[in-house]
Amino acid sequence: MGAIARFRPFAALDAHMDDMVRRALTDPPSAVTPQDGWLPAADVYQDGSDALILMNLPSINPENVSVQTRNRMVVVSGERETVGAPEGATVLRQEIRRGRFRRGFRLPDGTDVEAISATYRDGVLEVRLPGARRDATTRDIPVEVTVQHADTSSTNTLDDGAPVE
């Protein structure tokens, strides 16, 4: 006897809404076009001085994947080919997203565009953005203070925050 599957009449709508919210919160408006069918999941990491984008693209032929830079963005696009059900089979459930996709990411300041690389292995696309490290150091800037005395003025720099006399 087969297992009983829970009836979820709004599962497809939930998945579509999740994609719409993810697009609105993570991708700039120019990164995704309305005719795109789906968005692959992605993680973005800092790896030393590089940024690293990992995209989950299982069952996609790497020859159908394109990585381009344009307008200070890196854009990954491609297509998961539609595979029909075996002859005579009836589809009971279809959850794998198919068709075209396009996903864009803003290039961080300092990215060496000519050195960007992409590799595909075991269904994961890795896009490395060399030199994308953001400078996280802080620097104290001394404040110059002009003090007016009776009929002279002098300019002193405060290093320790003490009042100038």
The domain ranges of the chain are 31-82+97-134
Query: What's the pLDDT score for residue 26?
Result: 53
Query: What's the pLDDT score for residue 65?
Result: 94
Query: If you search the block for the tokens 């050195």, which residue do you land on?
Result: 115
- Which amino acid does the sequence have at 57? L
* pLDDT less than 50: residues of the chain: 29-35, 136, 153
Q: CATH code for 31-82+97-134? A: 2.60.40.790
Separation CA 158–CA 147 (nearest Å)? 12
β partners of residue 80: 99
Separation CA 78–CA 56 (nearest Å)? 12
Query: What's the pLDDT score for residue 110?
Result: 85
User: CB–CB of 110/133 below 8 Å?
Assistant: yes
Query: What's the pLDDT score for residue 142?
Result: 76
Query: What's the pLDDT score for residue 6?
Result: 77
Query: What's the pLDDT score for residue 101?
Result: 93
